[in-house]
């Protein structure tokens, strides 16, 4: 039984579908690929092909059931199970993410924050106490966190990632301005805010010309 490999771009789009179905919960019973495409500024073909990778969620002549799709896509994304995460770097960005309400809504629970600044260690943020980064390895080794968010300065990020990988972390969301090197089997997603800002800067310049 061979499964078609699912392209990465499809997975990247999945959260947008999820968001839409979530927003329509209790508002309407069903949606067609055409309507979905209009709302999400994509094509009906793409919607159908994307969703078909995971099995026949739709019904001919009817469309897609909002409640069912919300549940199914949630399962695919792994949101049905509780997920624990930690943050390394208790700077402003780390603290902002610690309190990000959407993360909690979606079932992610913050277990700990780590920092190397003695001034910060011990303070409380987002309901958890900031721990010394010296305790990071043990914490992860004990399986206390499935994934980690790195918000340290770039110089420290690779070292932190090494510790995480050596102790069996499953995934990393990286905000440091460099591309992390991780062990195979560890999922990584880099969010380079500055890069996005620079690309935006280019498009602003282009608009000005046009």
Please tell me whether residue 144 binds DNA under the rule CB under 7 A.
no
CB of 205 to its own copies, least distance (A): 4
Please tell me whether residue 59 binds DNA under the rule CB under 7 A.
yes
Q: Can you tell me whether residue 131 is helix, strand or coil?
A: strand
Please tell me whether residue 82 binds DNA under the rule CB under 7 A.
no
CB nearer its own copies, residue 6 or residue 134: 6
158 binds, among DNA, its own copies, none (CB under 5 to 8 A by kind): none
Cβ-based neighbour number of residue 113 at 10 Å: 27
CB of 34 to DNA, least distance (A): 6
| 172 in Cβ contact with 161 (< 8 Å) | yes
Task: Sort strands 147-150 and 124-125 into parallel, antiparallel or unpaired.
Answer: unpaired
Hey, which bits of the chain come out as E strands?
Answer: 30-31, 58-59, 63-65, 83-88, 108-115, 124-125, 128-132, 147-150, 171-174, 187-190
Please tell me whether residue 174 binds DNA under the rule CB under 7 A.
no
CB nearer its own copies, residue 38 or residue 59: 38
CB nearer its own copies, residue 38 or residue 134: 38
CB of 41 to its own copies, least distance (A): 7
CB of 62 to DNA, least distance (A): 6
Please tell me whether residue 143 binds DNA under the rule CB under 7 A.
no
CB nearer DNA, residue 2 or residue 92: 2
| 17 in Cβ contact with 50 (< 8 Å) | yes
Sorted by sequence, the CB contacts under 8 Å of residue 115 that are 6+ apart come out as 88, 89, 90, 91, 94, 121, 130, 131, 132, 133
Residues in contact with DNA by CB under 7 A are 7-10, 31-34, 42-46, 48-49, 51-52, 56-64
């Amino acid at each position: 039984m061979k499964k078609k490999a699912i392209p990465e771009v499809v997975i990247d789009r999945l959260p947008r579908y999820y968001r839409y179905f979530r927003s329509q919960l209790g508002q309407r019973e069903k949606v067609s690929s055409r309507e979905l495409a209009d709302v999400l500024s994509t094509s009906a073909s793409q919607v159908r092909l994307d969703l078909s990778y995971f099995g026949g969620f739709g019904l001919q002549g009817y469309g897609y059931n909002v409640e069912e799709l919300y549940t199914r896509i949630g399962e695919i994304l792994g949101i049905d199970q509780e997920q624990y995460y930690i943050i390394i770097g208790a700077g402003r960005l780390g603290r902002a993410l610690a309190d990000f309400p959407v993360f909690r809504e979606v079932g992610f629970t913050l277990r700990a924050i780590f920092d190397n600044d003695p001034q910060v260690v011990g303070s409380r943020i987002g309901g958890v106490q900031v721990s010394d980064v010296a305790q990071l390895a043990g914490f992860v080794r004990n399986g206390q966190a499935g994934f980690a968010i790195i918000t340290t300065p770039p110089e420290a990020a690779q070292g932190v990632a090494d510790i995480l990988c050596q102790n069996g972390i499953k995934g990393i969301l990286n905000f440091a301005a460099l591309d992390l090197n991780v062990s195979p089997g560890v999922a990584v997603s880099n969010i380079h805010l500055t890069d996005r800002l620079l690309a935006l800067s280019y498009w602003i310049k282009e608009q000005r010309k046009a």
